[in-house]
């Protein structure tokens, strides 16, 4: 289990570094990208033609290290503000995306099942893997958090609440992305087919990361001046949410080493 967490926490700072870069970019760009091509070019220049990924990854590791060494209570307080703010932004963009022209085409595609896919084992494996990753299943994160819980903690309530909220956010985000992508592409290329649009979504960044780093800035660019502010806040919230997630993975190793050395598990409380 520790080996799984080790490898996951190895690439997590990479994605967190991307979030840090896009936070910087949201503040400094003269204008947000308005098309998929422009968004993809920015992402490609960042990941393939610069030293920014190395710098931002080091920055992400340093930030998590500072949090662990200096005490992480402050980031808990920050996240109590920023995570609800991130949720509010998700809900706002979800509602706004529904007003976009051709949004219904993307929503219809999203909720039109391909029944033949249910017979494909790889689809079930991918879905189970995504859900397991979403909830940190099999990575000892929840077991680590449990060592800091008191007898008064509402374990049963949290067991229901966390998956429900997690899946609701994913539900809203999927509608937002499909509405925005289909709306933007159809408006710029009315002859684009559904399969061509889905192909663009699949190839927008490794592991579909382009859905966040290519299409989210495009989405906010359609909102005008308010969109720039929302874009900055979105990636700011994403950075702190990412840091807290990275800390939860790192804490697994910290507690394992403390237990190996015979130290108290609760001497470095979250």
* Cα distance between residue 140 and residue 153, in whole Å: 19
Percent of the chain topping pLDDT 70: 86
**Mean pLDDT estimate for the chain:** 82
Delimit the domains of the chain by residue range.
1-261
Higher pLDDT residue, 77 or 105?
105
Tens of pLDDT, residues 125-138: 888 877 777 766 66
- Give yes or no for residue 148 having a pLDDT over 80: no
Pairwise CA distance, residues 101 & 92, whole Å: 17
Query: What pLDDT does residue 270 have?
Result: 47
Where does residue 253 rank: exposed (0-12), middle (13-18), buried (19+ CB within 10 A)? middle
Entry field: residues in the chain? 270
- List residues forming the annotated binding site: 166, 245
Q: Which residue has the higher pLDDT, 5 or 27?
A: 27
pLDDT-based confidence at residue 71 (cuts at 50, 70, 90) = low
pTM of this structure:
0.80
Span of 40-49, 88-97, 148-157 with lowest mean pLDDT: 148-157
Residues within the annotated binding site for Na(+)?
166, 245
Q: Residue 72: pLDDT above 70?
A: no
Residue 204: what pLDDT? 72
Find the mean pLDDT for residues 139-159: 73
% pLDDT > 90, the chain: 12
């Amino acid at each position: 289990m520790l080996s799984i967490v080790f490898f996951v926490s190895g690439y997590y700072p990479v994605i967190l570094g991307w979030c840090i870069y896009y936070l910087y970019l949201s503040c400094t760009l003269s204008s947000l990208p308005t098309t998929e091509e422009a968004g993809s070019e920015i992402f490609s220049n960042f990941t393939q033609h610069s030293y920014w990924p190395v710098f931002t990854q080091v920055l992400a590791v340093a930030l998590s290290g500072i949090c662990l060494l200096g005490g992480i209570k402050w980031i808990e307080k920050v996240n109590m503000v920023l995570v609800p703010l991130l949720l509010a932004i998700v809900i706002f963009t979800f509602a706004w995306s529904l007003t976009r022209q051709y949004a219904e085409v993307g929503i219809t595609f999203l909720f039109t099942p391909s029944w033949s896919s249910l017979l494909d084992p790889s689809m079930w494996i991918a879905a189970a893997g995504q859900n397991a990753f979403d909830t940190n299943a099999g990575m000892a994160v929840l077991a680590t958090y449990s060592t800091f819980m008191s007898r008064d903690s509402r374990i049963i309530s949290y067991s229901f609440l966390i998956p429900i909220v997690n899946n609701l956010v994913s539900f809203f985000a999927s509608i937002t992305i499909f509405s925005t992508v289909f709306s933007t592409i159809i408006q710029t290329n009315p002859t684009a087919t559904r399969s061509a649009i889905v192909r663009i979504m699949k190839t927008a960044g490794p592991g579909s990361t382009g859905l966040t780093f290519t299409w989210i800035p495009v989405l906010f660019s359609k909102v005008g001046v308010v969109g720039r502010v929302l874009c900055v806040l979105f990636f700011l919230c994403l950075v702190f949410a990412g840091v807290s997630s990275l800390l939860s993975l790192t804490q697994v190793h910290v507690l394992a080493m403390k237990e190996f050395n015979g130290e108290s598990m609760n001497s470095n409380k979250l």
